Amino acid sequence: MRASEYFVHGCDPTALIVRQIMEDAVVTVSPTSKAMAVAELLSEHNFGSVPVVERDQTLRGLVTEFDLLKAVEQGKDLREVTVEEIMTRDVVTTTENMPLMSLIHLLQERHLIRVPVVKDRRLIGMVARRDVIFGYVKARAVYWP
């Protein structure tokens, strides 16, 4: 759930931080999950990627649609391949205190759609371009008492 969904007063959207717009209910997978299970998960929920975490929520990587396509192109059977074998390990992350304008810069500079939010290497949320737009709209909304 995004904190911005509960805004009751308009505010300056440039004063927002990641914690206010990120999604904290994140679907994750383990490194030992099969790639086919991830493909099904992404298809079913219309996600573009899913974070790979240890039991203690330590972020290990990200499995993207691109990772799955690459595995298929290489002739790998997604029913046999584990997430750990195909995941992107060098993941760009952000913190919950990053200002909105810095996040926008990061997303645009790196051509990213979404970024994991971490605290002490543990996943605490995900933030996407769509969340930035949603937060901006909610911050600019006119609320009636």
pTM: 0.87
**Residue 45's pLDDT is what?**
92
Distance CA 68, CA 39 (A): 7
On the question of pLDDT at 5 being above 60, the answer is: no
User: Averaged over 112-135, what is the pLDDT?
Assistant: 95
pLDDT tens per residue, range 24-42: 999 999 999 999 999 999 9
**Residue 3's pLDDT is what?**
58
Q: What percent of the chain has pLDDT over 90?
A: 81
Q: pLDDT-based confidence at 2, cuts 50/70/90? A: low
pLDDT tens per residue, range 50-88: 999 999 999 999 999 999 999 999 999 999 999 999 999
Give me the residues paired with residue 62 across strands.
Answer: 51, 88
Instruction: Look over the chain and give the mean of its residue pLDDT values, rounded to a whole number.
Output: 91
72 CB neighbour count, 10 Å cutoff: 15
Closest alpha carbon to 135 in 109, 110, 98: 98
**Residue 15's pLDDT is what?**
87
